[in-house]
Structure 1
Amino acid sequence: MPTNRQRGQHYEQIAAQYLTQHGLQIIAQNFFCKGGEIDLVALEQQTLVFIEVKYRQTNQHGEASEFINTKKLQRLYRCAQVFLLKHRQFQQAAMRFDSLCITGQPDKIEWLKNIYNGW
């Protein structure tokens, strides 16, 4: 039985493949900073996209997107600030926060764009 971390990495790989197939270039995976993590960072043309991947085996207790709360978005935003400090070449890029929500077997993928407008 896979650990939560292994399961998370598996679905982050699925998300990365999905986004790549839709024209994004993945530039970082599992960017850790104090207080949080960004699952994927990608470029869509000239836009830097910070992506939260959420997986739910079923939607019996709610859709994957329902598990992205304000606290999670604030952590994502703080990590994005740290990412920009460490990767200054992206500081002038347009940015957005997306979520890729994966539910079930077979996987249903929902791509939510621009989930946080805290800039």
Structure 2
Amino acid sequence: MRTKTNDTTVARGREAETLAAAYLEGCGLRLIARNFRVRGGEIDLIMRDRATLVFVEVRQRSRSDFGGAGASITAAKRRRIVLAARHWLAWRGDCACRFDCVLIDGERLEWLRDAFTGDA
């Protein structure tokens, strides 16, 4: 059962993903899928940047008490993203890809291209 706080967190997450997708589309990327989930992992956004498939993790923090949005992407989180990406590639076909992050700290949005590798 979802609580009111949980519903608010989910709504904020969706808003952050929508903001990130719009920003990246404005930079020339094309949205392929949102919230791709497999057992053990999830990818927030899957986009195409010309011939490259881009797996995007979106992180939002309203405060930086614990290091901000970037600090919340742990090694375990990266492994779960890579796991989901491997499933996508096995399902859709192997191609050139990269892992990007969009970090939203308060009002500041930062796009990190090639934020980590598939070896995570």
Structure 2 gaps of 5+ residues are none
Amino acid at match of 1:68: I
Task: Say which of 1, 11, 22 aligns to 1:17.
Answer: 22
Q: Displacement, 1:20? A: 0.2
Deviation at 1:118, TM superposition (A): 2.9
* TM-score, L = length of structure 1: 0.89
Q: Which runs of 5+ in 1 are unaligned?
A: none
SS at match of 1:114: strand
Matches of 2:35 and 2:12, distance apart in 1: 14
Deviation at 1:73, TM superposition (A): 0.5
Question: Is 1:51 the counterpart of 2:56 in the alignment?
Answer: yes
| Partners of 2:21 and 2:31 within 8 A in 1 | yes
Other structure's SS at 1:81 match: helix
Matched, 1:113 2:116: no
How many residues are aligned here?
Answer: 114
Letter of the aligned partner of 1:58 in structure 2? R
Runs of 4+ in 1 over 2 A off after TM superposition: none
Percent of paired sites with the same residue: 39
TM-score by length of 2: 0.89
* CA RMSD across the alignment: 1.3
The one-letter code sitting in structure 2 at the alignment partner of 1:23 is G
| Offset of residue 49 of structure 1 | 0.5
Secondary structure of the residue that 2:86 maps to in structure 1? helix
Given that residues 99 and 118 in structure 2 are in contact (C-alpha distance below 8 angstroms), is that contact kept between their aligned partners in structure 1? no
Trace 1:1-119 onto structure 2 (pairs within 5 A).
2-88=7-93, 91=94, 93-104=95-106, 107-119=107-119
Distance between the aligned counterparts of 2:10 and 2:42, measured in 1?
A: 13
- Offset of 1:61 from its aligned partner? 2.7
